[in-house]
Amino acid sequence: MLARLAALAALIAAAAALVALLRGGSEPSRPRAAAPTATATPTARPRARPALKRAPADVRGAAARRMRIPILMYHVVSAPPAGTPNAELWVAGSRFSSEMRALRKAGYWAITLRQAFDAWQHGGPLPRHPVVVSFDDGYLSQYTHARPALARLGWPGVLNLELRNLGAKGITEHEVRGLMADGWEVDSHTLTHPDLTTVGDAQLRRELAGSRRDIRRRFGARTAEFFCYPAGKYDARVVAAVRAAGYRGATTVDEGLGARGEPFTLKRVRVNGSDTAASVLARLS
């Protein structure tokens, strides 16, 4: 009897592990990062989250319109398991936190893309050293690891949400609303993450207009003002379709700083797992 009970318990544990693995993510190489756990005494009270801090209004007018703004690009904010493909897309949570602290110490202040565009189009205000911290696709680790690191600084992030990742296999609607409560901006990264330069006109419209409409239906009219090209793939036809879909601008994976004169081909600074706080700062100068 004891042997049968032990076998049954092992079978249940194996089934639970399989369910957890299947919830890990839509792409095997980029699973949902596990949420950090914590213990507390029965009398302990949850800590209040730091409020979003207003960015300093140091730069206005023509200077704000001319300012080049670094837009950082992150994906998974967690240490990659051994043998993970595309491990450079994974940045450990502790390293991400150290990069954010280093930026703050160097005088940088995180803003949203909306704030950047308002400055480029209307003259500010901007902090003296603005930076946009963007995250592609929509992974659990962006909620469990990136969110608290930015919240400690009172900074917003920008989530480029691929709607296929919304749900149990990526980031949930509840988690996205939690990010928004911290001041994050939610933008579009298509429905299914295709190479937009290879799809037909009808699918291109669905991926662009459909994702914008769905995000706004779920999260409000102030979302999905901006677009992020999947895998950075774009051409003149895709750029024209992004404009026609009603977006104010779009980000690429081209290396460099964002500037007013290229609103639909904004450059970004990709942060890799091998980067350090020092190397990130060096690439922003």
The mean pLDDT value for 18-32 works out to: 36
pTM for this predicted structure: 0.83
**How confident is the model over 102-132, as pLDDT tens digits?**
999 999 999 999 999 999 999 989 999 999 9
Question: Is 77 or 30 the better-scoring residue by pLDDT?
Answer: 77
Residue 49's pLDDT is 56
| pLDDT greater than 70 at residue 42 | no
| pLDDT greater than 70 at residue 272 | yes
In angstroms, rounded to a whole number, what is the distance separating the alpha carbons of residues 136 and 115? Answer: 19
pLDDT-wise least confident of 2-11, 70-79, 90-99, 232-241: 2-11
Q: Find how far residue 251's CA is from the centre of its chain.
A: 12
| pLDDT greater than 70 at residue 46 | no
Residue 22's pLDDT is 32
The mean pLDDT value for 147-154 works out to: 98
Residue 56's pLDDT is 81
Residue 169's pLDDT is 83
Q: Which two tokens stand for residue 66?
A: 């001319």
Question: 261-275 burial, b if ≥16 CB within 10 A, otherwise e?
Answer: eebbbbbbbbbebeb
Residue 41's pLDDT is 28
The mean pLDDT value for 154-169 works out to: 95
Residue 105's pLDDT is 97
What percent of the chain has a predicted confidence (pLDDT) above 90? Answer: 78
| pLDDT greater than 60 at residue 37 | no
| pLDDT greater than 90 at residue 225 | yes
| pLDDT greater than 60 at residue 253 | yes
For the chain, which domains are there? 64-284 (3.20.20.370)
